[in-house]
A and B are shown apart, each in its own frame.
Chain A
Amino acid sequence: MRAMTSFRYIGAKRRAKEHPRFVSGRGRFVADIALPGMKHVALVASPHASARIVSIKIEKALAAPGVLYVLTGEEFCANTDSLAIGVDAPKVTRFALAKDVVRYAGEWVAAVVADSRALAEDAAERIEVEYEPLPHVIDPEAALKADAPLVHPAHGSNLLYHRTFVWGPVEEAFANAEHKIAFRAVWGRSATVPIETFGVAAQWDAGTGILDIWASIQMPKFPDQVARALRFPGNAVRVHHDVDVGGSYGVKRGLKHAVLVGYLTKTLGVPVRFIEDRLENLRGGDMQGPDRFFDMQLAFDTDGAIRAMKIRAVDDVGAYAGRSPFQLGKPVTAICGPYAIGAIEYEPTSVMTNKTPQEAVRGFGQSPTNFAIERAIDRVARHLGMDSIEVRKRNFIRKDQFPYTIPSGSTYDSGDYHAVLDKTLAAIDYGSLVRARDEVRRSGRLAGIGIASCLEPSGGNSAFEVLMNPKNENTTWMDSCLVRVDLSGAITGVINNSSAGQGHESLVSTVLGEILERDPETIRVVRADSLTALPSNSPVGSRMAIMLGGAAAGAAKTIKETLTAIAAHNFECSPEDLEYHDGSVNVKGASSKKFSWDQLVEIAHRKFHKLPPGLEPGLQAKFVWEVPTGGALPTPEGRIQIYPCYAFEAHVVLVEIDPDTGKPMIRRYVCGHDCGVMINPDIVHGMTYGGIAHGIGAALYEKFAYTEDGQLASGTFMDYLIPSAMEVPALAIVDHCTPSPLTTFGQKGSGEAGYLGAPAAIANAVNDALDPLGASIDALPISHLAIWSAIGARKGAAST
C-alpha cells in the first residue's frame, strides 16, 4: 500500500478515548471484577531453588476459617496439560503448581481457596511442606558445564537452544580487517514490572459449559492455550477482552495463572479470583526479563568501516522455557542494527537455571542486543581514536539504499538515519553539550556524553518461531477489525484484544474516521470476547499501529466501497462516476446529485429492494490482515524476514557522576525518533518517554538479583528499584518522518520506542564519564556501587 500524503485526523492532536474513564476512577481492571459468591486464592511458594517435595500436609489449612479447598500439584498436573513449550524441548513441561520437585525459589506449590484473600493467606501459612533440598545452579555458564545439576533431568541438559548462524563471509572479513576488538557486554535480569500485578477472575458455567475469564493479559493465542491446557475445546473458553490492563509492556502472559484459576472454578463450581501480591508477582509470577551476556567481536578498518561482527549471546531463561528462548530469535531481524555490516555470525544460546522463568519484555530481546551493538560502536571509536558519531555515520545504511536487505535476510523498509542523528545533535546543541561536559570535568566531577542509534523492528511477526523450532510452521501473525454501521448511522469498531495503555480505541477511531471521513469523536470502539472475536495476535512487537491500524483501514474501505456501490446501483451508473465525500456519495461534478450517509445506511439496513444484487443487507465489514512481508519459512542458513517495518531512534544524553558516591545524574536527554507517520503523536511520544524511563531503570537501577543459594534478593520495591520522577529527567523528543512503503498510512510501530536505545545511550555516557580514569563498565545495571568501585579502583591504582 502506498502512503497517503495528507490526512484529516491522522497526525493531529487528539485526546485519547480511554482517558476519561481512568481519570475519574472508572477503569475496569481485573481486581475490580467482583462476581457474586466469588472466592479468593493465596499461594504457597517454594523456599528452595531446587528440592524434592517429600510431603504436603493440608489438613490444618482445610480446617481454617472460610477455607473451601486446597489444591496441590499432584491433583492439578493429573488433570491439566503442560503449558506450551516454544522451542523443541518436549520434556521441559510447565504447570502452575509444582509436582514432585520445585525448580526455583518462589515456585508455586499449593493454592488455597477461601472466602477472602486474607483468610486464604491465613490458611496458606498452615500448610506444611517438607522438602529435601537438591543441588541447584544459578549461573548460566556453570549451568552449561557437563557436571551441572539439571533443572529438568528428563531434558538431558540445561541447554534449551543453540545454533551458530553464519551470514556472509565472516571469517574472511576477520582475516582481512585492519583492526579487531573483543569484549563482553552483560545485560542484567530486569523486566517491565507493571504497577498492576497479574490477576485473573474466572467463572465456570455448568449450564452452558463455558469458562468465562477476565484477566490482566497481553498474550497471543491466550484463549487457545488456556483451553488446551485445561483439555477443553477452544469454544469452551471465553476470554473477556474488555478488562483494562494496568501496564504490561510484554510481560503479562498470565497463562499459568489462568489455567490454575480456570481449573479451580471448574472443580469448585464457584467463581474464583486470584490477584498476585507483589512478592508473588516478582518471585513467582514468571515475568523476569532477558538475563544475557554477549561475547562481541568486531572486525573493522582504520577508516571506521565495520566489516564483520560476531555475537555470541548466552541467555538465562530460568527454570522453564515458554516463549522466552524466542527473545534470542527476534533480534535476528535487526542483527546489525542500523549499520551496513556485510557479514555476521550469531550464536544464540538459551540455558536453564534455577531462577524464576523469563518472560517477554518490551522489545523481545532487541534492547539487550542494541545495547551490545552500541557498546561495540563506542569501543570501535575509542580503539581508533575516532568520534563515535563519525563511526556511526560511516557505517549507517544510507537513505538511498532502502529497501535494504541485511545479512540475516530481513529487509529494512525505509529510513534516514543520518538525518535523524543530525537533527538530534542539533536539538541538543551538541557543541554546547560537549562544552558543558568539559566544564563539569574541570570542576572535578565526572561527566560523559552517551549516544545510541538503534532500530525498533515493528509490525510484530512471529517468524522467529519457525526459525528456532523446525517443528513449528506458524507463518501468519494476522490481526483483524470488524466495522459496523448501525441503523442510526453510528460507527462501531470491534477489536479483538485487551489493551494496556497503548490507546487502541483511539487508534481505531482515528483510522476509521480518516477513511470514512467521519468525526472520530462519534466512533465507538469495543472489544469482542474471544468467542465472538476475529483472529488477533494481541498487541505485541510494536504491531498495533501497523496491524490493527491496517485492519481497521481495510474494513473501513470496504464500508466505503459498499456505500458507493449502493449509490451507483440507485443512480444506475458506474462506481467510477461517483465520489465519496464526508460520508455521502455524489455524482462527480454534480454535488447536489447525491445520497447522504443516512440515506445510504437506511438502504443498507432496511431497503433490500434498493440494494445491488449480491450485496448482503446490513452494513458491516471485516478485514483480516497478514503481516506485510510475512508468510515465509527460513532458508537453510537461517535467513528470514521476521518483522516488516523498522523505526529508528537516536539518543543523546549527558550524565554527570558524583565521584564521592558514584551517583549518576542525567542532566540532558534528547531522543530523535522516526517511526514513519504518527497516527496520534501524543500517544507515540508518551510511549517513547515511558520507554526511556524504563531504559533508565534497566541501565542504572533494576535487577532481579539472586543470592548464591538461589533466593531472589529483590522481591520488593525497596530492592527492585523502579525509577521515580526524581531519577527520570525532563526528556525531549525530536520527530522525523520517513514513511513506510509497506503500511496503510506510512506508519511504523512505536510501542517499544525509547527502551530500545536508552540503556545503550546511558551505558555509553557512563563509560564516557569514566574514560578519563581509564575505567569502563559493560554490565547492566550500572549501580552506584559499580561506579563507585570503578572510580575507587582507578584512584587506588593511581596512588600506588
Chain B
Amino acid sequence: MNPLTPDEWQALALSLRVAGLSVLASLPFALGLAWLLSRVRFPGRLLVEAVLFLPLTLPPVVTGYALLVLFGRHGALGEWLAGLGIVFAFRWTGAVLAAAVMGFPLLVLSIRVAFDGVDRRLERAAETLGAGAWRRFATIVVPLSVRGIVAGCVLAFARAFGEFGATISFVSNIPGETRTLPIAIYELMNVPGGLPGVQRLTVVALVVAFVATLAAAVLGGTAWGRRRDD
C-alpha cells in the first residue's frame, strides 16, 4: 500500500530538494559572513547583523513580498537577472531562494558561534608556519568548527523544509513547481476531505524533522569524537 498519493510524494520530493539546495547554495556565503562577523571588526558591523537577522523577526509574508519586489519579473534585480536567463518568481528556484533567505540567519549564527569557539592561538601558530588567511580558514577554522557547521546546516535545512509564508508570497502555490509540503498541507486543510492527506503529510513532516535533528546529533557527535580521540 502506498502511504502517500502521487501529489503528496511530489510535494515531499520538492520540499527535500528545495531545502537541500537552499542550504548548499547559502553555505559558502554563510561561511564567509560568519568568518567576517567572528574575525573582522569593521564599521557597520552591527547594521550587517541587524539586516542578517531581519528574516527571523519579520513576518515571513513580508519577507516573501520583499523578495517579490526585488526578484519579481519587474523587480529591481529580477529584471536584470531575467536578462541572464535566471528567473525566481513563481519557479521552484524561487522557493529555494525564499528558503535560503529564511534559513540563512540560523546558518550564520551557528557557524559564527563555532568560529568564535576556535582557539585563536592555533590560528596564530598556523600563521607563523606560513599559512595565509585562506589556508588558515580552510585547514584550521573550518575543520575545528565542523560540529557547529553541521548543526547550522541541519537547523537551516529544518527551517527551509518548514518554510511557508515567504514561499507562498513569493512563488505562490503551483503543483509540481512551488507546492512544497507545508503549502500542500495548507491546501489540503482547505479542501473537503483533505484531512487524511493533512494527517499523512504531518507525519511525514514530523519524521523528516526528527531524522534531520538526529542526523545532526550523530554527525556532529562523530566529528567531535574524531577530533578528540582519533
Q: Is the A/B pair a real complex?
A: no
Task: Give me the interface of B with A, judged by CB distance under 8 Å.
Answer: none
